[in-house]
A and B are shown apart, each in its own frame.
Chain A
Amino acid sequence: MATIGAPPEVAPATPLTRRRRFGDRAFRWTTLVVSVGLVVMLALLLWVLADGGWRAIREFGLHFVIGREWNPVAGREVYGALPFIFGTFVTAIIAMVLAMPVGVGVALFLNESGSVWIKNPLAVLVDLLAAIPSVVYGLWGLYVLVPLFDHTVQPWLSASVGKVPVIGGLFQYAGPGGDLFTAGVILAIMILPIVTAVSREVVSVVSTETREGAIALGATRYETIRLGVLPTARPGIVGAGMLGLGRALGETIAVALVVGNSTNISASLFKPGYTIPAVIANEFREATSAGLHRSALLFLALLLVVIALGMATMSRFLVRRTARLVGDDVAAQEEAASSTLGMA
């Protein structure tokens, strides 16, 4: 504990002088005003995007969201954002499908493993994935993952799963270059830490209570988790997935480098696509002065923030509810909330 200097120049037990009361009040108000500034900033952010995006939505209406043609050439401007919305959701869903089982598996492992000497370093290592800058993921994806997938994984999947009727259409090899699938895999790696951290909190809150009961009944570890832990933890785990999905939807640079940036909508995951953040990053330069184009990009940003906030809020609700279901373990809830923050 730091040593505390004795308070200087304070006369003991005198009633509060006016000056001191003023100091207290001024300090309190300063911190309050700054804190409210944070709320004002969020409001301003939403207003700037909505106000900026208004023109595009007035011009194109619903067509903005369902239209497939995107042409920023002056005089022939058409803005239909469906290819970007499609690509954003496809890549994010691939990421979630891949990251969820692994993330929950790691969470269960970290929770069940008895030894602190394995647990803590492992948790730190998984967290490090969250610290890697997205441009580094992008660079690695572009020069390592894309060639690897082009030469091995995708031709192989195309030749095997691609032959299966109905779902085979998703896996048609489409030649070298970036594509939706590769982007989804990169995103899966990037959201793994957050999915793991949130699932781990949920699972650890649940298991102390149920585990002992299940073990007392003679269940094996697998049965304890399968019948005791997972059913109770399910809403929270879904919440972890939604938080991951929200993260994946908004990732920009890594995706822009590997997704192929093509506005075609195709069934095969091995074909290039485009996402909302990527199109904003690629086109803002030309749109800085032009009105309608800028408006279209700002509306896309608004769309992104609304979806991401919806996901985060729902996830928060689900995680809190799971924690509460299991008992009023306030400390555990606080811990869950703070560790989610630490990951940000």
Chain B
Amino acid sequence: MSTMEMPREISTRRRTKDRAFSIALWACVVVALVPLLLIVYRVVRLGLAAVSISLFTHTALPASFPGGGMKQAFLGTAMIVGIAVLISIPLGVLTGIYLSEYGSGRVAGVVRFTAEILLSIPSIVAGAFIWALVVVALGNFSALAAGIALTVLMWPIMARATEEVLRLVPTELREGALALGYPRWRVIVRVVLPTAGAGVFTAIMLAVARGLGETAPVLLTALGNDFVNTNPLKPTDAVPLRVYNYAQSAYPAWRALAWGGALMLLVGVLVLSVTARMLSIRQQRRMR
């Protein structure tokens, strides 16, 4: 921190100011970390109290009974995120390939700019868009619509992240394969993609972490459901939706379930994003 040697002549006033400034910076760090600790502590404590087997194996009991669960929400989240992943992996990876392997012209610039813009739209806007486009057209809230709404958010994330990891692949590798007589597209599919494999996987994990915790777009498109639903064209529950609904509930048993669901969400999202981060650090080290 104080790598520079201070000359003796520095006045007490200047020295005091410098010291005060250091303390202020430390204070900022503490202020930034306190909410994280408070949130994690509270969610873990109240969440653990609510987590039991029945959280995953039962749907809700009538409000006044303790216990019950949100089985339908876990199944619904799996279905919605599954649909989103199925749609957005091919779209995101192909866009990433275009940007990294072919993208130097004006079209690529526009695509890159669009991806950046899409990354900064509020997630509820993606929900409102698919609500007006798909839900109103089909006349029904559905897991499919929610999957599409999440795709709006996940596609640009995956595209930019894939582009970045593909760029880490050394050019010499491409040139070598081309020199051996491989056509360009097979160089990409059989050399570039496998080399960046872990990185592409990381990109997917980042996008899933984002989709998993989103509430607003899923609320506007899947609506929620008190019971298990396996039809992708029908209203479907999701863990964030259940937490949102139960958070506003007057019944202690349901509020307890909300904390249980929140803990599961937090664990899922944190595990995904920490793993993705560690993988990408390792990948970058390996490439350099």
Which listed residue, B14, B29, B244, touches A122 by the CB 8 Å rule? B29
Assess A220 versus B15: contact at CB under 8 Å? Given A4-B177, A28-B185, A304-B125: yes
Assess A48 versus B244: contact at CB under 8 Å? Given A133-B265, A139-B258, A305-B125: no
Whether A42 and B35, one on each chain, are in contact in the complex, defined by CB atoms closer than 8 angstroms, is no
B78 part of interface (Cβ distance < 8 Å): no
Assess A136 versus B1: contact at CB under 8 Å? Given A35-B99, A49-B128, A288-B136: no
A78 part of interface (Cβ distance < 8 Å): no
Whether B124 and A304, one on each chain, are in contact in the complex, defined by CB atoms closer than 8 angstroms, is yes
Q: Which of A17-42 contact B (CB under 8 A)?
A: 20-21, 23-24, 26-28, 30-32, 34-39, 41-42
B250 part of interface (Cβ distance < 8 Å): no
Whether B129 and A48, one on each chain, are in contact in the complex, defined by CB atoms closer than 8 angstroms, is yes
B131 → chain A closest CB, angstroms: 6
Whether A309 and B183, one on each chain, are in contact in the complex, defined by CB atoms closer than 8 angstroms, is no
Stretch at the interface among B64-72, B152-160, B226-234: B152-160
Whether A312 and B117, one on each chain, are in contact in the complex, defined by CB atoms closer than 8 angstroms, is yes
Whether A139 and B111, one on each chain, are in contact in the complex, defined by CB atoms closer than 8 angstroms, is no
> By DSSP majority rule, is chain B's interface helix, strand, loop, or mixed?
helix
Assess A11 versus B110: contact at CB under 8 Å? Given A106-B29, A253-B216: no
Complex CA–CA separation, A305 to B25 (angstroms):
35
B60 part of interface (Cβ distance < 8 Å): no
> How does the 8 Å CB contact mask read for A76-110 relative to B, with 1 for contact and 0 for none?
00000000000000000000000001111110110
Query: How many A-B contacts at CB < 8 Å in the complex?
Result: 312
Which listed residue, A4, A36, A215, touches B111 by the CB 8 Å rule? A36
Whether A35 and B94, one on each chain, are in contact in the complex, defined by CB atoms closer than 8 angstroms, is yes
CB-CB under 8 A from B152, the residues of chain A are 41, 45
B100 → chain A closest CB, angstroms: 10
CB-CB under 8 A from A105, the residues of chain B are 24-25, 27-29
Complex CA–CA separation, A246 to B21 (angstroms):
30
> How does the 8 Å CB contact mask read for A308-344 relative to B, with 1 for contact and 0 for none?
1101110010000000000000000000001001101
Whether B114 and A28, one on each chain, are in contact in the complex, defined by CB atoms closer than 8 angstroms, is no
Interface size class of B (residues with CB under 8 A): 35 or more
Interface size on A, residues (CB 8 A): 108
A178 → chain B closest CB, angstroms: 11
A-B contact pairs, 28 of them (CB 8 A): A2-B197, A7-B177, A10-B181, A13-B181, A23-B183, A31-B97, A34-B90, A34-B94, A34-B98, A36-B111, A48-B129, A103-B32, A104-B28, A105-B28, A113-B1, A122-B33, A124-B277, A126-B33, A128-B273, A131-B213, A133-B212, A135-B213, A135-B215, A220-B17, A222-B17, A225-B21, A253-B244, A308-B120
Q: Which residues of B contact A (CB under 8 A)?
A: 1-4, 6-7, 10, 14-15, 17-18, 20-22, 24-29, 31-33, 35-36, 38-39, 42-43, 90-91, 94-95, 97-99, 101-103, 107-108, 110-111, 114-126, 128-129, 131-133, 135-136, 152, 155-157, 159-161, 164, 173, 177, 180-186, 188-191, 194-195, 197, 206, 209-210, 212-216, 219-220, 223, 240, 243-244, 247-248, 255, 258-259, 262, 265-266, 269-270, 273-274, 277, 286
Q: Which residues of A contact B (CB under 8 A)?
A: 1-2, 4-7, 10-14, 16, 20-21, 23-24, 26-28, 30-32, 34-39, 41-42, 44-45, 48-49, 52, 101-106, 108-109, 112-115, 122, 124-129, 131-140, 142-144, 189, 192, 196, 215, 218, 220-223, 225, 243, 246-247, 249-253, 257, 277, 280-281, 284-285, 288, 294, 297-298, 301, 304-305, 308-309, 311-313, 316, 338, 341-342, 344
